[in-house]
Structure 1
Amino acid sequence: MSALLFLTFSLSGCLYPNKEEGRSTVNYRESVKRIQSAVDDYKQEEGVLPIINAEITTPRYEKFRIDLDMLNKKGYVDDIPATAFEKGGSAYFLILNEESNPTVKVMDLETVQKVNDVQLQVTRFKSAHGGGLPVGEEIYPGLYSIDSKKAGTATIKLSSVYSGQEIPFIMDKNGNVYVDYVFDIMTVINKNGGPQKQTADLRLDLELASYYVPVKSLPYLWINEQPVPQAPN
């Protein structure tokens, strides 16, 4: 983990270079700007946010999905961005900070799908081995790497939406799968000269640095000068 202190991935201010290693990128700047304006106008005129209802247990980075179809039908946006799921794209547009400062962000569906693919394999392994898990090493307290040979996930690779670098999947003691954003978080922290708030969830640093949300992740705390994901209780 100490090696993280020396990582210096090349990230622009909005984290959208024209080309990233391992995956193509989409510039969401104009789409987010346009949808943010529509959300602001809708909230001012209607008194509520244009969101699709979600279960209370839905994770924060998946919860408040914007109802783009409704915004389009009511004339708040001329058309729905081609990158949106509603138009066959690979992203949901979400709202964060819904009570204090509603902010439009992007949820990458490729990341979600690959986590779901790994989760399916881990669940199959667990069912076939009496509750046992395809555990690799314990890389954080209560969190483990996944033995890809045992799980049958060796061909499932995930490139970060932030850096384009390949990033790993991790698993808790119950077999729940997450993305490990530690490298991306450390990169932003290095660039900023330190975390925004040392006592806060460090995913906030990624929120502020990019249009993307760190979907399928755990909270990260700053411990011994490093970001450490926190296993569920």
Structure 2
Amino acid sequence: MLRKLLVMIIGLSMLSACLYPNEQRSENQVSNEQQLSRVQQAVDQFREQENGILPIETRDQNTPLFIKYPVNFTPLIDQNYLGEIPANSFEEGGYYSYVILDPEETAEVKVSDVRVTQSLRSVNYDINLYQNENGHPPYGESIGDGVFTINKEHIDLQDSLSVSSPYSNQSLDIIMTSQAEAAIDYRPDVYRLLEEEGIEAYEGDLRNLLLEHYPIVPVHSPEMYLEDGEIVLETSDNQNMNNQNND
């Protein structure tokens, strides 16, 4: 009897995997790719019908580029370009905020992981608190041009100076820019991708490599460049990666 029960359970599990393949994936793969495709189609149709206007929410000019143009679902729903707001979206209690990249040209729809932004808020609070009390940020070691580790001895978040990668679920370090803003070190994910794809040379910002292979944007990240086989971090003085609003 027990053996028959186990066989039935395994059979049902296999059937479920066939019927709902997307739901069997980890969340970092953005479980329902059909939802992303529907939003892209709706945005494209809206843009065509509205003479190039995009359904985007207004954000401050200092908002980081990857999350500067969030999708405004209201006109898409009201004008029947989209049947419903995606279930995995932040608006519906999900983990992802839908954004538009390159609005002047491709207007490609991607998502950002809201949990990453939420994880940085408490760190940014402690950085600001330390800076206000001591006159300077809790800089650790320099790990790039305008990029530093955070001195764990100066803030009370020693167990929280990392986040789960939206690409691989591995732990990524929270670092800090010269503007005293918390950021994410995505280098482990990029090194893994370079190895998997056999890439030895890459022109330009390596964050674009992540965008080429994943539907998720590398939010709150310094620029990354490949030099002599090593990834170099870099951030300019006017680069603002910290956004206090939800992604």
TM-score bucket (shorter structure) = 0.7 to 0.9
Kindly report which structure 2 residues correspond to 1:56-135, keeping only aligned pairs within 5 A, or say none: 56-129=61-134, 131-135=135-139
Runs of 4+ in 1 over 3 A off after TM superposition: none
The alignment's TM-score, normalised by the length of structure 1, stands at 0.84
- Conserved 8 A contact 2:113-2:216: yes
1:165 to 157, 160, 170: 170
Other-structure match for 1:215 = 219
Whose helix fraction is larger, Structure 1's or Structure 2's? 2
State the 1:180 CA deviation. 0.7
Other-structure match for 1:139 = 143
Q: State the secondary structure of the residue aligned to 1:37.
A: helix
Other-structure match for 1:190 = 195
Identity %: 28
Other-structure match for 1:11 = none
State the 1:125 CA deviation. 0.8
Structure 1, unmatched stretches of 5+, are 1-15
State the 1:26 CA deviation. 4.1
Q: State the secondary structure of the residue aligned to 1:144.
A: strand
2:235 paired with 1:228? no
- Conserved 8 A contact 1:170-1:179: yes
Structure 2, unmatched stretches of 5+, are 1-22, 238-247
**CA–CA separation in structure 2 for the residues paired with 1:152 and 1:225:** 35
State the 1:51 CA deviation. 0.9
**CA–CA separation in structure 1 for the residues paired with 2:142 and 2:99:** 33
Q: State the secondary structure of the residue aligned to 2:126.
A: helix
Which amino acid in structure 2 is aligned with residue 51 of structure 1?
A: I
State the 1:224 CA deviation. 1.9
Highest RCO, 1 vs 2 (Cα 8 Å, sep ≥ 6): 1
Which amino acid in structure 2 is aligned with residue 135 of structure 1?
A: Y
The alignment's TM-score, normalised by the length of structure 2, stands at 0.80
State the 1:174 CA deviation. 3.4
Residue-pair matches, total: 213
2:194 paired with 1:175? no
Q: 1:142 to 1:17 in 2, by over 3 A?
A: farther
Q: 1:53 to 1:142 in 2, by over 3 A?
A: closer
Question: Over alpha carbons, which structure has the higher Rg?
Answer: 2
2:37 paired with 1:33? yes
The CA RMSD over aligned residues, in Å, is 2.0
Deviation sequence 1:68-123 (CA, Å, 0-9, x none): 12211211111111111211222210011211111110011100111122111111
1:45 to 29, 49, 54: 49
